[in-house]
Amino acid sequence: MMMRKNYLLIVMLVLLQAGCSIGGASRPAEFYVLNAEPGTPVSGRTPSAGPLSVGLGPVSMPDIFDRPQIVTRPQSNRLEMSEFDRWGGDLNRGLSRVLVQNLMSRLNTDSVLLHPWSSRDKPDFQVTVQVFRFDGEVGNVARFEGVWRLIDGTQGCELAVERFRFDEKPAGPGYPEFVSAMSHAVAKLSQAIAERVATTKPGCGA
């Protein structure tokens, strides 16, 4: 009888400890989105500039980053995925949406199409983006790295290809500041693309 009581006591203690552990580890998840940062029209795209149509995409990134958890890189060969700090939606789509909004303001056009667009649409240019890194270290650096290409929208030839890397210092130690720094990095890429588009003429040379 005594052994049975001791066994039941041990089981109760184990269950109580497990319940405390589970309760202590849980907290409400926080959800974040990238924000567009409207800019002034780049040189050559003032209000008097002619119509311009740009197709954005595809935008691609490694699967390790395109997930609900915000991914950081505390060491060069180690990644961390936050279970409680997450993207409020599909990251790739969110990144594409912000790039479209940023390009609209910088190129002074409402005609920035998101891939895939209708076959009836014939943009002057197509911009593709391949993301290599979308990580960093919370409180230290937000890093956005990859390559983008400018393609003639009609003939399909490559007009420019640029490797990019933007390192932004977060304004504080937490995830809100880290995501805000990521938005700043996306805005810098948008500015670089807009400046190149504004100085490039459509068409493929001989």
Question: Which whole-number Å values give the CA distances from 145 to 10, 127, 135, in the listed order?
Answer: 54, 16, 9
**pTM score:** 0.85
Is residue 57 domain-resident? yes
Is residue 204 domain-resident? no
Question: Which whole-number Å values give the CA distances from 177 to 136, 138, 197, in the listed order?
Answer: 12, 8, 30
Three-class SS state of 105:
helix
Please give the Cα distance from 68 to 152 (Å, whole number).
Answer: 34
Least confident of 1-15, 74-88, 105-119: 1-15
Is residue 206 domain-resident? no
Is residue 205 domain-resident? no
Q: What is the dihedral of CA 105, 133, 90, 195, to 10 degrees?
A: 10
pLDDT digits (tens, 9 = 90+) for 131-155: 999 999 999 999 999 999 999 999 9
Is residue 37 domain-resident? yes
Neighbours of 28 (CB within 10 A): 6
Give, for 132, the enclosing helix (H) or strand (E): strand 125-137
pLDDT digits (tens, 9 = 90+) for 44-94: 776 656 789 999 999 999 999 999 999 999 998 999 999 999 999 999 999
Is residue 184 domain-resident? yes
Please give the Cα distance from 42 to 104 (Å, whole number).
Answer: 11
Is residue 15 domain-resident? yes
| Counted domains in the chain | 1
Is residue 101 domain-resident? yes
CB burial string 166-192: b at 16+ within 10 A, e below: bebebeeeebebbbbbbbbbbbebbbb
What's the domain range around 100? 2-43+50-198
pLDDT of the residue at 14: 52
- Read off the CATH number of the domain in which 122 is found: 3.40.50.10610
